[in-house]
């Protein structure tokens, strides 16, 4: 399947989960609970303007300040724990493009000429400075998927793709600023391991509830998913997306498993219709 205007490929096979670095995405905080700031500041127009400059105008100075306020020593310790046993220093990698296209998904408006979100870059650099290791300079996001403003249904359809050389003898740590369903980190992890690399773990600055998030689909979640949609789910998902539901993140799978369908057709048929609607109408 392809996106309606032919510019975004829906078929994006993922490598199976292998148990290495797949347990959890390590999270520092909620973005509305930053260290060293008052509630009044966090709710203020000053903070919101600063965050938007870091997120959408590539202001690295503000991005480093926000990263510093997000950092939890407990989370840092957990990241260190994931790196124990690896003989070489890690490579921190964030899902970036040589440009950002958040408003130009599918080529509907011209591309920006430079990245817009400085937070993942600042976080990767922070980890490199604090914990050792280096920041990736060889792998880039090649698909114009623009996911920040997409709803969950469109996130299944618009997965990014990556290109670039993988270093086989050092562990990678994919990082991002905010984790939602984890699809971007999962696709980046899949690219790395499919090319012979190793992923030690994943991390994000923030999640809406501020706690570590399950990364790979949990056995219980997979069971609920299969009971909800039946045996046809695996063949449908594989034919449509290039990988089976067992390669989903836990958050992606939970959304599907817990979605409250209106009465009518069988769940698998309603799922097909909803995916087709998203592909055709972009919503």
Quick check: 11 and 52 in contact, CB under 8 A?
no
Q: What are the residue ranges spanned by the domains of the chain?
A: 24-214, 219-281
Question: So what CATH class is 24-214?
Answer: alpha beta
What is the predicted pLDDT for the residue at 43?
59
pLDDT (0 to 100) of residue 109: 45
Task: Look at residue 45 in the predicted model and tell me its pLDDT.
Answer: 67
244 with 216: CB under 8 angstroms?
A: no
**Is pLDDT of 207 > 90?**
yes
Structure tokens at 109: 């408006």
pLDDT, average across residues 262-276: 84
Q: Which helix (H) or strand (E) holds 280?
A: helix 267-281
Confidence of residue 1 (pLDDT cuts 50, 70, 90): very low
What is the model's pLDDT at position 8?
A: 46
The most confident of the ranges 49-53, 129-133, 163-167 is 129-133
What per-residue confidence (pLDDT) applies to 94? 93
Window from 13-22, 192-201, 217-226 with minimum mean pLDDT: 13-22
Spell 55-70 as b/e; 16+ CB within 10 A means b. Answer: bbebbeebbbbbbebb
Give percent of the chain above pLDDT 90.
55
Give me the half-sphere count of Cα atoms (radius 13 Å) on the Cβ side of residue 253.
25
pLDDT score at 38? 54
Of 80 and 144, the structure prediction assigns the larger pLDDT to 80
pLDDT digits (tens, 9 = 90+) for 231-244: 999 999 999 888 99
Give per-residue pLDDT as tens, 35-68.
Answer: 555 555 555 567 778 888 898 888 999 999 999 9
Cα 86 to Cα 20, 59, 60, 169, 200: the distances in Å are 12, 34, 31, 9, 8
pLDDT in the model for residue 216: 97
Prediction pTM value: 0.87
Q: Compute the mean pLDDT over every residue in the chain, rounded to the nearest whole number.
A: 84
CB 116 within 8 A of CB 55: yes
Closest CA to 91 of 128, 51, 43, 139: 128
As beta bridge partners, residue 172 has: 91, 199
- Candidates 145, 151, 146, 124; CA nearest to 135 is 124
Q: What is the pLDDT of residue 32?
A: 73
Positions of E strands within 221-280: none
Say yes or no to pLDDT of 199 above 90.
yes
pLDDT digits (tens, 9 = 90+) for 182-191: 999 999 999 9
């Amino acid at each position: 399947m392809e996106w309606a205007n032919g510019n975004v490929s829906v078929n994006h096979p993922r490598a199976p989960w292998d148990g290495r670095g797949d347990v959890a995405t390590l999270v520092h905080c909620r973005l509305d609970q930053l260290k060293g700031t008052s509630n009044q500041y966090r709710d203020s127009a000053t903070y919101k303007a600063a965050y938007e400059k870091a997120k959408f105008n590539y202001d690295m100075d503000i991005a480093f300040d926000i990263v510093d306020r997000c950092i939890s020593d407990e989370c840092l310790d957990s990241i260190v724990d994931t790196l124990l046993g690896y003989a070489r220093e890690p490579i921190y990698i964030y899902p970036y493009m040589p440009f950002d296209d958040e408003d130009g998904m599918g080529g509907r408006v011209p591309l920006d000429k430079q990245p817009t979100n400085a937070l993942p870059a600042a976080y990767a650099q922070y980890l490199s400075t604090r914990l050792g290791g280096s920041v990736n300079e060889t792998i880039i996001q090649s698909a114009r998927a623009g996911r920040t403003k997409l709803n969950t249904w469109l996130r299944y359809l618009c997965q990014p793709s990556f290109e670039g050389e993988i270093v086989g003898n050092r562990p990678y740590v994919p990082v991002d600023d905010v984790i939602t369903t984890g699809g971007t980190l999962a696709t980046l992890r899949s690219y790395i391991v499919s090319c012979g690399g190793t992923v030690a773990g994943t991390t994000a600055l923030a999640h809406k509830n501020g706690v570590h998030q399950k990364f790979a689909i949990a056995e219980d979640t997979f069971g609920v998913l299969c009971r909800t949609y039946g045996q046809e789910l695996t063949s449908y998902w594989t034919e449509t997306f290039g990988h089976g539901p067992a390669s989903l993140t836990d958050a992606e799978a939970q959304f599907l498993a817990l979605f409250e369908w209106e009465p009518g057709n069988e769940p698998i048929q309603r799922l097909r219709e909803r995916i087709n609607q998203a592909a055709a109408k972009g919503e």
